[in-house]
Amino acid sequence: MKILYITNGINGSGGLERVLSIKASYLVDKLGYEVHIITLNQNDSPLFYEFSSKLKYHNIIAKGNPFRYFMAYVSGLKSKIKELSPDIISVCDDGLKGFYVPYIIGKNCPLIYERHASKNIFKAQDYLSILQKIKFGVLHWLMHIGGRRFDAFVVLTKDNLNEWNLNNLKVIPNPLSFYPIDKSNLKNKKVIAVGNHGFQKGYDRLIQSWKMVLEKHPDWQLEIYGKIDRQQKHLKLAKNLAINHNIHFYKPVKDIDKKYKEASIYAMSSRSEGFGMVLIEAMAFGLPCVSFNCPCGPKDIISSEVDGFLVENGNITEFTNKLNLLIENRALRQNMSEQARIKAKTYLPEIVVPMWHNLFLSLNNINN
Supply the mean pLDDT for the chain.
Answer: 95
Percent of the chain whose predicted confidence (pLDDT) is above 90: 90
Which range scores top for mean pLDDT: 9-18, 129-138, 340-349? 340-349
pLDDT at 7: 96
Residue 128 forms part of a structural domain? yes
247 and 163 co-located in one domain: no
Residue 184 forms part of a structural domain? no
What number of CA atoms fall less than 13 Å from residue 263's CA on the CB side?
Answer: 27
154 and 289 co-located in one domain: no
Identify the H or E element spanning 73: helix 66-84
Beta strands in the chain (DSSP E): 2-7, 34-40, 56-60, 88-92, 111-114, 152-155, 169-171, 190-194, 221-225, 247-250, 265-268, 289-292, 308-311
CB 159 within 8 A of CB 302: no
Collapsed DSSP state (helix, strand, coil) of residue 117: coil
155 and 290 co-located in one domain: no
Q: Is the pTM of this model over 0.85?
A: yes
Instruction: Kindly report, residue by residue over 203-238, the tens digit of the pLDDT.
Output: 999 999 999 999 999 999 999 999 999 999 999 999
Residue 358: is it exposed, middle or buried by C-beta count within 10 angstroms (0-12/13-18/19+)?
Answer: exposed
Instruction: Kindly report, residue by residue over 52-107, the tens digit of the pLDDT.
Output: 999 999 999 999 999 999 999 999 999 999 999 999 999 999 888 999 999 999 98
Range 113-128 average pLDDT? 87
Residue 180 forms part of a structural domain? no
242 and 331 co-located in one domain: yes
pLDDT at 124: 82
> Can you give the CATH number for the domain in which 152 is found?
3.40.50.2000
CB 293 within 8 A of CB 276: no
pLDDT at 45: 81
Instruction: Kindly report, residue by residue over 141-194, the tens digit of the pLDDT.
Output: 999 999 999 999 999 999 999 999 999 999 999 999 899 999 999 999 999 999
264 and 125 co-located in one domain: no
Residue range(s) defining the domain that contains residue 231:
190-345
124 and 265 co-located in one domain: no
pLDDT at 43: 80
338 and 357 co-located in one domain: no
Instruction: Kindly report, residue by residue over 267-300, the tens digit of the pLDDT.
Output: 999 999 989 999 999 999 999 999 999 999 999 9
Instruction: Kindly report, residue by residue over 39-62, the tens digit of the pLDDT.
Output: 999 988 889 999 999 999 999 999
pLDDT above 80 for 366: no
Residue 165 forms part of a structural domain? yes
Structural domain total, the chain = 2
pLDDT at 367: 64
Give dist(CA 226, CA 111) in Å, integer.
32
